Structure 1
């Protein structure tokens, strides 16, 4: 029997690419040498499509991780951005893993909307030939936890697809659950799917490797870099109702690299006053010994400051309180668990003071403190060895108690420039980048702290000498106190880098004016920029601003482009499909 050619282990390919190519060569070999058929049957790989819906890049990264593992297990994985496929292609698939996040009020990520809308239609085609499983990513701090993944899971089944492994609903700590889901899914697909014919392996191999596969940084969410805080200054003038800080971190010598459009993960510490209140409510002095993850011990005060989340109480904590208290807990637990108001652990302790715990019992009922992701507001070309953020400090009152944003006030109030080191890591967001074509026009809508990535975009274009025109829509409350980076933007205008700047300060006149109003006022020119190949970007609040801006963009295309609402929707969908409409919303 003739041998089937195999790539050597030293070939410059990832394991899953090498596995795919070996199967591909086996398929080709079988068509020219029939005597190899028995070996080919064992060597050919099962096709597997891994679809991702991602707003900030997490689902995309997990999809690539899934592809790596699938490649090792005898699959030919293809990682597919949901925006790059359609319902007809899905109907022709045999095996699919779906990994999707949820954002806003239970909405699909931008790149998943088109596929979801097609799938949700009454006339969606049968998917009876499809084997699938869904991994849903979410955050239990939001009422619509994992809603998008749940919707995909239920709708795929309703369209006739066969669920081969139970859906995984992952919270912010997703690694363990994702790994178990992937293992169960690949095992089930391995037994549910027959090996493809050699011809089935004739399509081109997908780029299934993670961007971190080559030269991966030593630092990550699990192992953040202890970066020195260089600067923290308030960007608002006296009299402002807001407190937005420009934050600078030192990355020199860390090996951490980022691009304009990426986010920075920051590991916060809880407010000492809040920790003290929790200890008082529990009847502890804070010196109680607590076991750390590495086997060492630390004080309860230190653990509550640096390790555990004192925000929304976990279901485990609520259940434990219900068992320990003599007071009726059903209504209180329901409010703490489901109310849109951000109730905290301290509220539960104050409501049920007779529920007593040992220190070890208590921390076992808490979630781990999670990093906060902030859009990076600097270009590495303009600030080598540094990374900058634009952070709005969150402060409010609830139920007679002052509340603070955990990370925002940590950075603004408690971290000391030149003295404090803070855990950070880079979170790549390849879906949010300045135009690859340096001559393409760029339109940016970023009110408030939404200006952050666009400061980075403008710095990037200036440093790289890009010739494309740049247009920024910026808004806030008052020009006199809230015109963030005014001096920098003025200088960019004078230099010609910032071609046009439209501002909307909502409280400088009786009638409130917002960035979407300015877009409509400039509809003809805005549409002309789009027609000239312009890229359209939005950053900021997802629940209101981003929706209003999207509606305004549809109206701009209708009015200036003389299109029907349906034609305008198709025009904007094409912008999304061709990656000329991108949003970084939260």
Structure 2
């Protein structure tokens, strides 16, 4: 009898690795595989020696760190007393999700792959290292890797075909319309167990726009208070947003022809279908569809390739089906990127563009079509003792440094902080202008600014670094300064790093290769850190 157990474990910080793990689990159901899909820390690691096939999908966070939900799992694997043959019966595969703008790119997946090998496990396929910076995003690696994985698994199990993507994968749960009465207190979905997390409901006490009313970009300072939320500098604040009233209404307008089942006051029940895919905590009680639409499904998500694959099974328009299948093909990835990712087209916009598929999506597949809203991470600036610090924060990248500057401001013995800020327009984008200028007047900070649209030529933060090269070099070499970079992940981090290397090379009279080694060591030592977002 074939061994049809496949265990899928993930380490996920923002939910992407979890989403991919669950999609892989669904594909396995098409071939009668069974087994859990779990966060690594939710899995009993003592059972790893009994497993035959395990897939590990993990992201890398921060400066090469493991996601929070695999830290205990990883700590156990690092035990020195584990025999080198303890996992000799295990065949495994590793898929990593990373961002090559960080120095420790896919560091977590690389460490995991190597450690499993040291413990005697046998790789099924070469590890996959997906890069968020790729033109096609992580899908450029994820889909080919998954395809190769199933081809390999066909050697161990019959019934797996290379054209597996043509299957309509089964839904995770069964959805029924209920007649239950919902108590008003159930209208706020509790997505997490407050007893097991440092979590709390907060009250918004301020929502102030910091950009000019005439400026197209609406950037806001949001203030909140809570009696139960405890944090210190260096923590990360995870905020779970809701969809706007306008977006929620757009959802119901799209499905207005299906008033019998897709209407605001319909009460639905989510029922477990497979023991290894339990219903999430937030959905274990009957709940109004509007509540799910408003608080659970991410209506602003940019659909992934799997979304178009799913829609292709439901359309009764041959023209739509051809386009959807093209988007799922290898040859159609560039066109898919131009249609979907480049303009940041949302799932609701896609549904409008493919009305025949939209009209036929079974209610059971709505949780496959829409992903859960993922919490957004916001840094609470780390606190350091009396050290020199250079902070590079163009645009909203300045936000993580503001609380740190205020904390240091209260310490009379602190060294002067060096803040490099850049934006397009001095009058529209210079957030907290008076505040920063006041701190500089009090000689608590040295402020360097770059306004790219206010000069006859474009000037960015990397130019400010070069223009003040002697100061930057002396801070790094004579005061052992720490460098922190925050902001958009596209081009800025590389440009800033190259500027520092150039400055060091010029004033230290060394070649660029030697300067590169210096900054690589600073990164490994934590003296040069980046925190970026797309």
TM-score class normalised by the smaller sequence: 0.5 to 0.7
1:467–1:266 CA distance, 2 compared to 1 (3 A)? same
Say whether residues 1:247 and 2:250 are aligned partners: no
Cα distance in structure 2, aligned partners of 1:524 and 1:96: 51
Which residue in the other structure is 1:257 paired with?
A: 231
Structure 1 moving runs of 4+ over 6 Å? 71-74, 95-99, 113-117, 127-130, 132-142, 146-153
Check 1:230–1:128 CA distance in 2 against 1; reply closer, same or farther (3 A cut): closer
C-alpha separation between the residues in 2 aligned to 1:140 and 1:519?
A: 24
CA drift of 1:434 comes to: 4.2
Deviations 1:91-118 (A, max 9, x none): xxxx999895412xxx26423489999x
1:290 aligned partner: 268
Structure 2 gaps, min length 5: 1-40, 42-57, 85-90, 111-116, 147-192, 271-281, 328-332
Q: Please, which moves more after superposition, 139-148 or 59-68?
A: 139-148
Paired with 1:76 and 1:60, the residues of 2 have a C-alpha distance of: 26
Cα–Cα, structure 1 residues 112 and 513, in superposed 2: closer, same or farther, change >3 Å? same
Does the 8 A contact of 1:101 with 1:148 survive in 2?
no
Q: What's 2:379 paired with?
A: 376
- Structure ranking higher on relative contact order (CA contacts 8 Å, 6+ apart): 1
Q: Partner of 1:445 in structure 2?
A: 392
Determine the C-alpha separation between the residues in 1 that align with 2:418 and 2:510: 24
1:20-35 superposed matches below 5 A: none
Matching residue of 1:348: 350
Counterpart Cα distance in 2 of 1:251 and 1:141: 40
Query: Cα deviation per residue 1:355-394 (whole Å; 9 max; x = unaligned)?
Result: 33467335232343333434336x6xxxxxxxxxxxxxxx
Alignment of 1:110 onto 2:100: no
Q: Give the secondary structure class of the aligned counterpart of 1:375.
A: strand
Q: What corresponds to 1:331 in structure 2?
A: 323
* Offset at residue 308 of structure 1 (A): 0.9
Partner residue in 2 for 1:75: 82
1:121-520, aligned counterparts within 5 Å?
131=121, 143-145=136-138, 218=195, 220=197, 224-254=199-229, 256-260=230-234, 262-282=235-255, 283=257, 284=259, 285-291=263-269, 293-310=282-299, 311-313=301-303, 317-327=307-317, 328=319, 329-332=321-324, 334=327, 338=337, 339-341=340-342, 342-355=344-357, 356-357=359-360, 360-376=363-379, 433-435=382-384, 438-465=385-412, 467-498=414-445, 500-520=446-466
Measure, in 2, the Cα distance between the counterparts of 1:302 and 1:59.
Answer: 33
- Mapped partners of 2:130, 2:72: distance in 1: 15
Q: Supply the distance in 2 between the matched residues of 1:514 and 1:128 (Cα, whole angstroms).
A: 46
Q: 1:323 to 1:374 in 2, by over 3 A?
A: closer
Q: Distance in 1 between matches of 2:515 and 2:374?
A: 39
Does the aligned pair in 1 maintain the 2:398–2:421 contact within 8 Å?
yes
Give 2:532's aligned residue.
Answer: 585
Q: Which residue in the other structure is 1:26 paired with?
A: none
Q: In the aligned structure 2, how far is the partner of 1:218 from the partner of 1:249?
A: 21
Q: CA deviation at 1:539?
A: 0.2
For residues 127-184 of structure 1, the C-alpha deviation after alignment (integer angstroms, 9 at most, x for no partner) is: 999757769788899933287999999xxxxxxxxxxxxxxxxxxxxxxxxxxxxxxx
1:348 CA drift (Å): 3.0
8 Å contact kept, 2:238–2:375 = yes
State the secondary structure of the residue aligned to 1:480. helix
Measured at CA, do residues 135 and 141 of structure 1 come closer, stay the same or move farther in structure 2, by a change above 3 Å? closer
Of the candidates 487, 493, 505, which is equivalent to residue 546 of structure 1? 493
SS of equivalent to 1:308? coil
Aligned to 1:555: 502
What is the number of equivalent residue pairs in this alignment?
A: 388
Change (3 A) 1:238 1:542: same
In structure 2, C-alpha distance between the alignment counterparts of 1:550 and 1:226, rounded to whole Å:
39
Distance in 1 between residues matched to 2:512 and 2:433, nearest whole Å: 37
Cα distance, 1:243–1:462 mapped onto 2, change above 3 Å? same
CA distance, structure 2, for counterparts of residue 321 and residue 75 of structure 1: 47
Contact 2:312 2:324 in 1 (8 A): no
1:567 Cα deviation after fit: 0.9
Change in Cα spacing, 1:72 to 1:114, as seen in structure 2 (3 Å) is: closer
Structure 1 residue runs of 5 or longer lacking an equivalent are: 1-15, 17-50, 78-94, 118-126, 154-215, 380-432
1:564 aligns to what? 511
RMSD (Å) for aligned C-alpha atoms:
4.2
- TM-score, normalised via structure 1 length: 0.57
Question: Cα gap change, 1:491/1:96 in structure 2, threshold over 3 Å: closer, same or farther?
Answer: farther
The change in CA–CA distance for 1:114 and 1:526 in structure 2 (over 3 A counts) is farther
Q: With structure 2 as the length reference, what TM-score do the two structures score?
A: 0.62
1:430-455 Cα shifts (integer Å, max 9, x gaps): xxx344xx232100000110001111
- Is 1:54–1:110's contact at 8 Å kept on the other side of the alignment? no
Q: Structure 2 vs 1, CA of residues 132 and 465 (structure 1 numbering), >3 Å: closer, same or farther?
A: farther
The Cα of 1:63 is off from its aligned counterpart by: 4.7
Q: Distance in 2 between matches of 1:483 and 1:302?
A: 38
2:392 and 2:486 in contact (8 A); partners too:
yes
